[in-house]
Amino acid sequence: MTDEEYVYRSDLREKSEIAKSSRNKSGKHRRGCRLPADNMTKKERENLNGPLHTIKLGEAMAWEDFKAKPDTLQKQYIDAILAKYSVGPSALARMFGISKPYCSARLRQLGYSFEDKAKPSETARFLADFGIAEQSAGPAAIPVKEALGIEKVVLSFVGVFTPDAIAVKLQGLFPESQRVAITVEVAKVAEI
C-alpha cells in the first residue's frame, strides 16, 4: 500500500466514523439550531421591525402624508406617476395642494429635474385620473385654502411688479365665484 492510498483510506475511515456517530445522536432528544429570536416574546419581535408605510400608487395623496413617508417611498410614488403621465411640478403641486415653487424645491431634493414643459392635455388627463378638478385660470382655487376657511389675507409686494402679475397673485387667493373686498395701498420704495 502506497502512502497516498493509506492517507485516502484513513480519511474515508474517519469520515465514516463521524457519520455513524451523528446517526446515533439523532432522535427525540436532538435539538435544532436555536437563535436568539427564539427566546423573544411576540411584542419584542414586532418591535424589531420598522414602521409600516403604505402608498396607493393610483390615488392622490395629501402633502402631509407624502412628507411623512421615507424618501425611498416618495421617489417610488413620483416615479410611478411620471412613468404613466408626462407631467411637471405644477401638476404635482396641484395634486398635493401646495405651491409650485415649494413642490419643485422638494422634487429637486429628491433628485428630479423637469426640463420639458408638460402638455396641457396630459396634465388634464393626470388631474382627471387623480380626481382633481380642472381649474380655469392658473392656480385659482386650491382646495386646501377652502378647507382652511381663509377670511382675511394681508399681502406685501416689494419689487418690480406689473399690474398683470399682481392680478394673477390676487386671483389665486380665492375661488372665482367668491365675493371679496380688496384694498390696495401703493408706496414708492427707495432704491437700494
How many other C-beta atoms lie within 10 A of the C-beta of residue 84? 13
pLDDT in tens, 126-147: 888 887 765 544 444 444 445 4
Distance CA 178, CA 172 (A): 12
CA 103, 170, 168, 158 torsion: positive or negative? negative
End of a domain among 129, 150, 180? 129
DSSP 4-43: HHHHHHHHHHHHHHHHHHHHHH-STT------GGGGS-HH
pLDDT of residue 150: 62
Q: Is residue 76 part of a domain?
A: yes
What's the total number of domains in the chain? 2
What residues contact 65, with CB distance under 8 A and at least 6 apart? none
Looking at the structure, tell me whether residues 122 and 144 fall in a common domain. Answer: no
Quick: pLDDT tens for 83-140. Answer: 888 888 888 988 888 888 888 899 999 998 887 777 888 888 888 888 776 554 444 4
Q: Are residues 119 and 139 in the same domain?
A: no
Q: Are residues 124 and 68 in the same domain?
A: yes
The verdict on 122 and 106 lying in the same domain is yes
Quote the pTM value. Answer: 0.48
Domain that holds residue 164: 135-192
- For 3, 87, 114, 115, the CA distances from 83, given in Å and listed in that order, are 70, 10, 14, 16
Q: Give the per-residue pLDDT at 141.
A: 43
Instruction: Dump pLDDT digits (tens) for 14-63.
Output: 988 887 776 666 555 566 777 887 888 888 888 887 788 888 887 888 88
